[in-house]
Amino acid sequence: MTPLPSHFQAFGITKVTVVHNPGSADEERFETEAHIQAKTAFFAVDTPIYEGDVVEFPDPRGGIARKVAASVDVNNPTGSSFRGMEHIHVTWGTTPPPHVPPVRRLSIENLHAEVIRSSSDLFADGHYEAAVSEAFKSIEVRVRNMTSASQSGVKLMGDAFGGSEPRIAVAQAPGLSGRDEQEGFAALFRGSMLGVRNPRAHELFQPRDPQQALEYLGFASLLHRRLDVATVP
């Protein structure tokens, strides 16, 4: 991109980040320079900025200011007498959009390392049912190792997470909320063995459906991440 004309540079240039499609799965960002004012901003004439884009720049009070480009006017006059006057004039919207994090598409690369270790090769080769089975087997093995227990399946999960003094504490909140959280995750761990790990549950599994398999693997990843922050009293 070409630099801003010198008469804008004389009033100060700020490094900014321009955000296309803010808050969506197609969000894109790039850095450039601009002359920032309270209600407007000026960019180099070839800057790819459009209506609806968000511009982020340092707030002198601290943090990051966010402005939305309500209108974008390209001023590119012709003729030698206008050379050096080319620029883009952006007018800010009255209210900047709230910050919404980009949506992350679910993919196996984003899942817990234990799920990737146990299931990624099987998933990549199209063995979806086996990939899911191995992911939940890895949870069973991990819980057994954490508790030094000999049980398996539903009984293992009930003994590990249930009761007034669970062998694995996964609750993060204190008091009643923590007890509810522990009970809820105990049900999820038990349910994972009863509804997914249990061989009889595989009758409902669609062996050629990668999306269904990926959603099951996401559930396994959630349980592994909860074990990451669990304590064994």
Residue 207: the pLDDT is 62
161, with CB counted inside 10 A (0-12, 13-18, 19+), is buried
Nearest by Cα to 55 from 47, 67, 41, 73: 67
Residue with tokens 């227990």: 149
Residue 61: the pLDDT is 86
For residue 78, what are the CA distances in angstroms to 65, 74, 81, 105? 35, 12, 8, 45
136, with CB counted inside 10 A (0-12, 13-18, 19+), is buried
Give the chain's domains with CATH numbers.
6-92 (2.40.10.10), 108-228 (no CATH)
Confidence (pTM): 0.55
Residue 200: the pLDDT is 56
Residue 36: the pLDDT is 92
Cα separation of the two ends of the chain: 59
- pLDDT tens for each residue of the chain, 233 residues long: 666 666 666 678 899 999 998 877 788 999 999 999 999 999 999 899 999 999 999 988 888 899 999 999 998 876 555 566 788 999 999 765 555 555 556 678 889 999 999 999 999 888 888 899 999 999 999 999 999 988 899 999 999 999 888 999 998 888 889 899 999 999 999 999 988 877 655 565 666 788 888 999 999 999 999 999 999 87
Residue 96: the pLDDT is 56
